[in-house]
Copies of this chain bind each other. A is one copy, B any other.
Amino acid sequence: MNDTPPKDTAPPRTRIQQKNRKAILEAALEVFSQYGFRGSRLDQIAQASGLSKPNLLYYFPSKEAIHSELLTCLMDTWLDPLRALDPGGDPREEILAYMRRKLEMSRDYPRESRLFANEILQGAPRIREAITGELKALVDEKAEVIRRWGEEGAIAPVNPHHLIFSIWALTQHYADFEVQVRLILEGHEEDPYPEAERYLEALFSRLLAPESAPAGA
């Protein structure tokens, strides 16, 4: 009678635990990202992970715990692209590169994007603190960098917060609304992403180009 299921604080010990925890989180991502927390059933996650429902609850104490683990893991990697925005780099190229990284994340990790979207749609009850803490701090910091770039004339002066919002909105749209995008593009494009990148590059290039650049200032 072992009463010590794997703790969150310490990494799982045995190979079996690693494998099964990973399978559960993978399955949970699939399900939660589509139906949201309350709309998802443990049965679905169990079936998707190939384990039995009670076995799930051997590895995680509750449905809530699975979701929570998923979200906190996500929040960390989700901010990486913005963290990488280098105040010392070329302003326009930095912002364009950030947009490209975010678009890549939408392409390669659409479920993570939808998990996040679901959470925000529901009022962000489980990540409010991460938003007002970590995220807000990071955004404010980078917004200040962008503001300075605008002031210095390296890019057109735009509202930095809304610039960041627009990058989020435009890139995540391709993941969160993927179904709609693909249905509408049927008969025009098979894969939306190549055109999306070209379009967004043009959009942000023109937005950020210092006014009447060729005339020099």
Contacts and interface: CB of A to CB of B under 8 A. Distances in A.
A38 B39 CA distance: 5
A185 B161 contact: yes
A97 to B, nearest CB: 19
A119 B62 CA distance: 27
- What is the interface of chain A mostly: helix, strand, loop, or mixed? helix
Q: How large is the interface on A (under 10, 10 to 19, 20 to 34, 35 or more residues)?
A: 35 or more
Contact of A121 (B118, B132, B159, B202): B118
Contact of A207 (B181, B189, B207): B207
A161 B136 CA distance: 33
A165 B161 CA distance: 21
Contact of A199 (B166, B172, B173): B166
A13 to B, nearest CB: 35
Given A199-B162, A206-B209, A35 B122 contact: yes
A195 B188 CA distance: 34
Contact of A198 (B136, B159, B185): B159
